[in-house]
Amino acid sequence: MAPREYFERTVTTVGTLDKDELKKRIRHFKGRVKLDFTDDYLNTASVDRLRHILFAALINARGQG
């Protein structure tokens, strides 16, 4: 998949996730960079913040491939 297509698909996908799904995907993220957030942080973070974290992790992981 071309970088632009991946970017657009990732933005769309992450943008449709609800808070519970975002927290689940952050907790179980598989990548070179380990995401290590406490449950308290994930529970109190805004949906927009969680989307930003997951999106950045996905884009970063893609760039490492």
Residue boundaries of the structural domains of the chain = 3-64
Element (H, E) at 18: none
pLDDT digits (tens, 9 = 90+) for 29-43: 998 889 999 999 999
Q: Which residue has the tokens 């884009």?
A: 59
- Does residue 1 surpass a pLDDT of 80? no
- pTM of the full predicted structure? 0.87
38 — phi, psi (to 5°)?
Answer: -75, 155
Stretch 24-33: mean pLDDT:
93
